[in-house]
Amino acid sequence: MNENKKLFLLEEDITYLNHGSFGACPKVIFEDYQNWQFKLEKQPVQFFTEELYYALKKSRESLSKFLGCGQDEVLFFQNPTTAVSNIIYNLDLKPGDEILMTDHEYGALVRAWNAWGKKAKVYIKYANVTLPLESKDKFFEDVSKKISSKTKVIFLSQITSPTGLVFPIKDIIDFAKEKKIITIVDGAHVPGHIDLSIQNLGCDFYTGALHKWMCAPKGASFLFVKKEHQKWIKPVIYSWGKDGDDPELSEFLQDFQWQGTRDMSAFLTIPKVINFFKNDIESFQEHSKKLILNSGEQFQRVLRTDPISRGDDFLGQMISFPLPKNTNNKIKDILWENHNIEIPIFEWNKEKFIRLSIHIYNDQKDIDSLMNALQSII
């Protein structure tokens, strides 16, 4: 067994190849999480009215330094879906305006955009990204050609959830900025997965999960809001805000930080989370990417289907591969029940895919176990 797996709470007899869905929490981080919960329960009033806000500020400072943005531009949310939904319901668009996204976006957020678009009479437009993804120029062409005079918002994943691709979004963001189009980036899979500097990226909004590749406790995510937008972005849930106990000078932070009684312990672990990875994060990423690149060759050999990207520029610690058309519909259950392998199988664009996502607790033996199992099933 990979020695790093002992650092995590994962069951030892499971081959866990689905880090991308909900992440996995190291024992030392989970202990810190529980310590915050104990502190809250020992003196709830003192904690909520005094200690909490200083701890939140410390977490924001630590996170903003890691992300490359200001500490007063970052808010904590439980997940990116909630964060993006909060932006959606603040948008002031007119009937007939357009929202542009790719055909690789996360299903829950596609539903959120469509529900709001129908109500607001705003058109949701999709750019079909050519596969296999081979160049950033082609990606730019595929997305930019769908931009029109009616495009008011571009919503893009930096790493896609269904297809596991790292999209080269910087040029699209720069192009959108020239045309005064708002850019919202779904970076749910990015923090801890690939290098990130929000300031260099230049987007208007950015959301990311911290419980995925950063391995924080479940329910730890963030939303970056550029300062120029903070006057019009308001919380969906209003509470005490500036009339409460929050000592922050920013009304923007006051409105968002306190939204009624809730356990924010997961947010408070972030300094510990960053410290856990800070010295070794590049070597961890390299380790995982090497396994992913090797697995791509193995997938092609075992499944006899074609990859959806070329080269290594568009892959990180995830890879999705199309399954043969005649694949057993119960393949996910078979992998779990017969082989103790946890890995997602899903349908995207009318094709079945298998998505491999790994972290420091995985090694080549895990990949080999998967390939041997697939050979016995396919």
Per-run averaged pLDDT (10 residues), the chain, 378 residues: 89 96 97 97 94 95 96 96 96 97 97 95 97 97 98 98 97 98 98 96 98 97 97 89 77 87 96 89 90 94 96 95 95 98 96 96 97 95
CATH 2.60.410.10 fits 3-27+280-377, yes or no: no
- Our CA angle for 221, 164, 341, nearest 5°, is 90
Could you tell me the CA-to-CA distances from 353 to 58, 63, 104, 322, 324 in Å, in that order?
Answer: 41, 34, 13, 4, 9
CATH 3.40.640.10 fits 33-277, yes or no: yes
Residue of 354, 317, 348, 319 lying closest to 334 (CA atoms): 354
How far is Cα 370 from Cα 367, in angstroms, rounded to an integer?
A: 5
Could you tell me the CA-to-CA distances from 348 to 104, 183, 352 in Å, in that order?
Answer: 9, 25, 6
Query: Strand 341-342 relative to strand 15-16: parallel, antiparallel, unpaired?
Result: parallel
- Give the phi and the psi of residue 180 in degrees, each rounded to 5: 60, 40
Could you tell me the CA-to-CA distances from 90 to 94, 111, 177, 339 in Å, in that order?
Answer: 13, 17, 20, 47
Ordered by start, the domain boundaries in the chain are 3-27+280-377, 33-277
- Cβ(263)–Cβ(75) under 8 Å? no
How far is Cα 13 from Cα 354, in angstroms, rounded to an integer?
A: 21
Can you give the pLDDT at residue 1?
Answer: 62
Residue of 233, 243, 239 lying closest to 258 (CA atoms): 239
| Residue owning tokens 């929490």 | 25
Query: Which token pair is 209?
Result: 């999960």
Query: Which token pair is 147?
Result: 């931009």
SS3 content of the chain, % helix, strand, coil (to 5): 45, 15, 40
How far is Cα 241 from Cα 257, in angstroms, rounded to an integer?
A: 8
Query: Which token pair is 299?
Result: 């997938």
- Cβ(20)–Cβ(318) under 8 Å? yes
- Give the phi and the psi of residue 137 in degrees, each rounded to 5: -65, -40
Query: Which token pair is 235?
Result: 């919380």
Give the amino acid at 378: I
Please report which helix (H) or strand (E) contains residue 102, including its range: strand 98-102
